[in-house]
Amino acid sequence: MTATRAETTVEALLADIETLVRCESPSSDHVAVARSADVVAALGRRLLEAEPDRVVIDGCTHLRWRFGEAPRVLLLGHHDTVWPTGSLETHPYSVLDGVLRGPGCFDMKAGVVIALHAAAATGNRSGLSVLVTGDEEIGSPSSRRLIEEEARGCDAVFVLEASADGGALKCRRKGVSLYRIDVDGRAAHAGLEPEKGVNAGVEVAHQILAVAALADAERGTTVVPTALSAGTTTNTVPAHAGVAVDVRVWDEAEQRRVDQAVRDLRPVLDGSRIRISGGINRPPLQEEASSGLFDLAATLAGELGLGILTAAAVGGASDGNFTAGLGVPTLDGLGAVGGGAHADDEHVVVAELPRRTALLTALIDAVLAK
């Protein structure tokens, strides 16, 4: 039997979230992600009485349900997490005092369950598409084109990423650029003849200082060197070194400025070489992409007795950045209310689960009814 609004209870939501959380799905493990896709597909099959399209790109498994002809409303989420296999042993699934815990519960397995229950409860699914991807946490390298193809032409994209603090919807997100700077030097004995080497570690230090200087606090632009490596042994001048760089910006002009500056980097030490890879990953999600849908959500929340909705601007990015970049109205942060994404205290407020499901159902109905 197809799920109804009455069946979207706390108990039903918790049971399905537990099923997903207990199936670990780190992004880098395609076998684990495929296994998780099987679990999500079974859940959707029960709730929606429909088989999903199973889309495997570069070994990564994504799921899509389409109802009717061309999609008008897209529910967008992901079933991969940052948590490695075995995390359930140290962070077991639990529900205590109204708080649900477990790896990936907040980001964003609860959001996937909310999406499927809302899709099941909506009055008319014609024009609805549900897309659950498997590589969002690593930048959506295989799913970006699929997301953009599904979103193009839609009247609304509702992103089931977790909410901001206090349940706020995410109406503005920074854009993200990801780079890798690799340095080639020349090895030599660190004690006998270091002058014959070209120290890649020293060169990468120069590059780290150069990229860090590209940040602009007044504009909210962050440029952060992150994962760093250099050398092989303690008594050898490093022949190779590298550093990853994470860039976050509020507007596309800043994103282009930093991108050009990174590509213009040049070696400092004679005999060293640098190679730049990566680039712009996600454009900023601008407030104008969300404003109309947020107003609609606020009105519906009032009618449903859910209280006053708030909006937030956040530094993290999501697949909603892609859809907003196409000019498609996009509202993000409609998933779980809680906190601790990617952290030991990741959690979901249980009482908010049926409330968020009711809001999403009303949003789907309102847009499809136009």
Q: What is the pTM of this model?
A: 0.91
Instruction: Specify the CATH number of the domain 175-282.
Output: 3.30.70.360
The predicted-structure confidence for 31-89, as pLDDT tens digits, reads as follows 999 999 999 999 999 999 999 999 999 999 999 999 998 999 999 999 999 999 999 99
Q: What is the dihedral of CA 36, 332, 5, 98, to 10 degrees?
A: 70
Q: For residue range 316-357, list pLDDT tens digits in order.
A: 999 999 999 999 999 999 999 999 999 999 999 999 999 999
Give the burial class of 310: count Cβ atoms within 10 A of its Cβ; 0-12 exposed, 13-18 middle, 19 or more buried: middle
Closest alpha carbon to 174 in 255, 294, 244: 255
Q: What mean pLDDT comes out for the span 232-252? A: 97
- Residue extents of the structural domains in the chain: 5-174+284-368, 175-282
Q: Three-class SS of residue 349?
A: strand
Q: What is the pLDDT of residues 210-236, one digit of tens each?
A: 999 999 999 999 999 999 999 999 999
User: What is the Cα–Cα distance from 41 to 190, expressed in whole angstroms?
Assistant: 57
Angle at 89 between CA 63 and CA 137, to 5 degrees: 35
5-174+284-368, CATH topology level: Aminopeptidase (3.40.630)
